[in-house]
C-alpha cells in the first residue's frame, strides 16, 4: 500500500527570488509587474538562498514530501532552447537536499511563470509554445527523472488561463473569450503530449496534472439551476479533468462554446488521438472553496476578483453571459478578507465527486488559508490550525468512504509572494520577515502540523460542522438532495 505523503507546497516565482541571478531570464510576471510598478517577486521568500534551511524545517516539521515548481526562465534561456547549466544545478541541489532529508520531491513543471521571450511570440495563444514546453519537459525528465518520482505537468491551467485571458487581472492581462478557449486548449494539448513524452522516455515515476478544483453547488434543484451547474462544471472543472483523465473534452462544452461564438478551428484533426492515448496517472486537486451557482439572469459578462483583501471585501462578482452566475454573499457563510468561502465539507464532497466519476488516485496538492499576520510577534495562528484540521478531517472521511487519496500538501511551506495580493497575504506554516533578510520563524501551525504528520493524521479532531448546504454535483450523481441554502 502506498504510504500517505504529508507535505507542503510552493511555486518558483512566489518563493525563489533571485529573479536575475545565475542566468535566469525574465518571465512574463517579471515584465508585467515591473512595467506596471506593482509589488513583485524579485526577492519573494528568497528560497534560492534559503532552500537548505527551508528543507531542514520541513524535515524537522515531520513532512515527508515537498511540492515545488521549476522556473522555466531559470532553465531555458531563449526560444531556441538554450539550457542554463546554473539553473539545472540549482534544482539538482534542491532535489538532492530533499532526498537527503527523506523528503519526496513532487515537481510541477509549469506554475504560471512563462518566459517572456515566449510571451513575446504569442505565449499560450501560439501552438509553437506547446513544442517549447515539450523541450522543457525533455530536459527535466532527462536531468531529474532518476530522482523525481512524482511529476505534475501544469499547476491550475484553468486559473492561469482564465485570470490571464478572460478576467484579465493577471498577465498577459487581456479579456477575450476566443483567446481564453485557444490558450486553454493548447495547455491541455501540451499536457497530453508531455505525458506521451514521459512514457516514450521510459520514465519510472508517475505523471499527472494539478487542477484548481471548485466543486459545484446550486441554489436549488430546479432544472434551470441544474443546467447552470452543468455549464459551470464544464467551465471550472470538466475542460481540465475530462481530457486529462478520460482523454476527451465534454461534447456539450464544445457545443456551448460554438453557440457562444467561439471559433474552434485551432483544433487539428489528429489531436483527438493524442488526448485519447495519453491520460494522467493521478490528479492533483487544489481546494480553497466550493462554487455556488445560480442560473444566468441578464446583462453582460462580469468578471471581478478581489486581489486587494479587506479593502475590497465583498467586491467579487462572476457572471458569464448565457452560462451561469456565481454567488459570493451566502447567508451564514464564512469568508476570508479575499472573498474565499471557508467550507471544508466541499473538499469531502469534491473528492468523492472526482472519485465516483473518474476512479483515479488523488493528491490534495494545495489547501490553506491566506490572512494578514504580524510577524514581529510569535504567531498563534489557531485560525489556521482549525482550518487545516477541518480540511484534513474531510480528506480522512473521504478516504474512509473509498477515495484513493495519497497525499496532502499545505499551501504553503513558508509565507510567499502571493501574486497580485503581494506579500501581506500570508499562507505559510513558517513566517517570513520580508523586511529582515527573509528570516524564518515557525508559526504555531507548523508545530501542530508536525504532530499531524508524525501521527499519520491521528491528531486530527473530527469536524462536526460539516453538514452540506446546497445542491451539489455529488448529490446529482447519486440522485440525492442536500439541504437547500
Q: Which residues are part of the catalytic machinery?
A: 156, 366
Contact (CB, 8 A) for 148 and 105: yes
What kind and span of H or E run contains 158?
Answer: helix 157-161
How many angstroms separate the CA atoms of 209 and 244, rounded?
A: 7
| DSSP annotation string for 316-366 | -EEEETTTEEEE---TT--B-TTS-B--THHHHHHHHHHHHHH---EEEEE
How many angstroms separate the CA atoms of 41 and 18, rounded?
A: 9
Mention every residue, 6+ apart, whose C-beta is less than 8 A from residue 229.
216, 217, 218, 293, 324, 471, 473, 476
How many angstroms separate the CA atoms of 420 and 4, rounded?
A: 33
- Torsion over CA: 223, 227, 228, 229 (sign): positive
- Torsion over CA: 274, 276, 281, 286 (sign): positive
Mention every residue, 6+ apart, whose C-beta is less than 8 A from residue 211.
156, 157, 158, 237, 240, 241, 244, 283, 284, 285, 286
How many angstroms separate the CA atoms of 279 and 59, rounded?
A: 33
Residue 29 has which C-alpha cell? 510576471
DSSP code of residue 192: H
Residue 232 has which C-alpha cell? 459551470
Contact (CB, 8 A) for 271 and 186: no
Reduced 3-state DSSP string for 251-315: HHHHHHHHHCCCCCCCCCCCHHHHHHHCCCCEEEEEECCCEEEECCCCCCCEEECCCCHHHHCCC
Angle at 337 between CA 335 and CA 343, to 5 degrees: 25
Mention every residue, 6+ apart, whose C-beta is less than 8 A from residue 249.
239, 242, 243, 275
Could you tell me which of 98, 109, 86 has the C-alpha nearest to residue 54?
98
Amino acid at each position: 500500500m502506498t504510504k500517505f505523503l504529508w507535505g507542503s507546497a510552493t511555486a518558483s516565482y512566489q518563493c525563489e527570488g533571485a529573479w536575475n541571478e545565475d542566468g535566469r531570464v525574465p518571465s512574463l510576471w517579471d515584465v508585467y509587474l515591473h512595467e506596471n510598478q506593482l509589488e513583485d517577486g524579485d526577492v519573494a521568500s528568497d528560497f534560492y538562498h534559503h532552500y537548505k534551511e527551508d528543507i531542514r524545517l520541513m524535515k524537522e516539521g515531520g513532512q515527508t514530501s515537498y511540492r515545488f515548481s521549476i522556473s522555466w526562465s531559470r532553465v531555458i534561456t531563449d526560444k531556441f532552447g538554450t539550457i542554463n547549466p546554473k539553473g539545472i544545478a540549482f534544482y539538482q541541489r534542491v532535489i538532492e537536499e530533499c532526498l537527503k532529508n527523506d523528503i519526496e520531491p513532487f515537481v510541477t513543471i509549469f506554475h504560471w511563470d512563462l518566459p517572456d521571450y515566449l510571451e513575446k511570440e504569442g505565449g499560450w495563444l501560439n501552438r509553437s509554445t506547446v513544442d517549447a514546453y515539450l523541450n522543457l519537459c525533455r530536459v527535466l525528465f532527462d536531468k531529474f527523472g532518476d530522482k523525481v518520482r512524482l511529476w505534475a505537468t501544469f499547476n491550475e491551467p484553468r486559473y492561469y488561463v482564465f485570470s490571464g485571458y478572460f478576467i484579465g487581472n493577471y498577465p498577459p492581462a487581456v479579456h477575450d473569450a476566443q483567446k481564453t478557449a485557444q490558450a486553454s486548449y493548447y495547455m491541455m494539448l501540451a499536457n497530453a503530449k508531455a505525458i506521451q513524452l514521459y512514457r516514450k522516455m521510459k520514465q519510472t515515476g508517475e505523471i499527472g496534472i494539478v487542477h484548481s478544483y471548485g466543486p459545484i453547488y446550486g441554489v436549488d434543484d430546479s432544472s434551470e439551476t441544474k443546467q447552470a451547474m452543468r455549464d459551470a462544471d464544464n467551465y471550472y472543472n470538466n475542460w481540465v479533468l475530462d481530457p486529462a483523465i478520460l482523454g476527451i473534452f465534454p461534447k456539450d462544452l464544445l457545443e456551448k462554446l460554438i453557440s457562444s461564438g467561439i471559433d474552434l478551428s485551432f483544433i487539428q484533426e489528429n489531436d483527438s488521438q493524442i488526448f485519447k492515448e495519453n491520460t494522467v496517472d493521478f490528479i492533483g486537486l487544489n481546494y480553497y472553496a466550493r462554487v455556488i451557482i445560480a442560473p444566468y439572469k441578464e446583462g453582460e459578462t462580469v468578471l471581478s476578483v478581489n486581489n486587494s483583501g479587506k479593502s475590497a471585501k465583498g467586491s467579487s462578482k462572476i457572471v458569464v453571459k448565457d452560462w451561469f452566475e456565481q454567488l459570493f454573499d451566502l447567508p451564514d457563510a464564512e469568508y476570508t478578507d479575499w472573498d474565499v468561502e471557508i467550507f471544508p465539507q466541499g473538499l469531502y464532497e469534491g473528492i468523492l465527486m472526482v472519485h465516483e466519476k473518474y476512479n483515479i488516485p488523488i493528491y490534495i496538492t494545495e489547501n490553506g488559508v491566506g490572512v494578514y499576520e504580524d510577524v514581529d510577534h510569535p504567531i498563534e495562528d489557531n485560525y489556521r490550525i482549525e482550518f487545516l484540521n477541518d480540511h484534513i478531517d474531510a480528506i480522512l472521511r473521504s478516504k474512509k468512504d473509498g477515495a484513493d487519496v495519497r497525499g496532502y500538501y499545505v499551501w504553503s511551506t513558508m509565507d510567499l509572494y502571493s501574486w497580485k495580493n503581494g506579500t501581506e497575504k500570508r499562507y505559510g506554516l513558517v513566517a517570513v520577515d520580508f523586511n529582515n533578510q527573509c528570516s524564518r520563524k515557525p508559526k504555531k501551525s507548523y508545530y501542530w502540523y508536525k504532530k499531524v504528520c508524525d501521527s499519520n493524521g491521528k491528531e486530527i479532531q473530527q469536524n462536526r460542522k460539516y453538514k452540506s448546504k446546497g445542491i451539489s454535483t455529488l448529490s446529482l450523481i447519486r440522485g440525492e438532495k442536500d439541504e437547500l441554502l
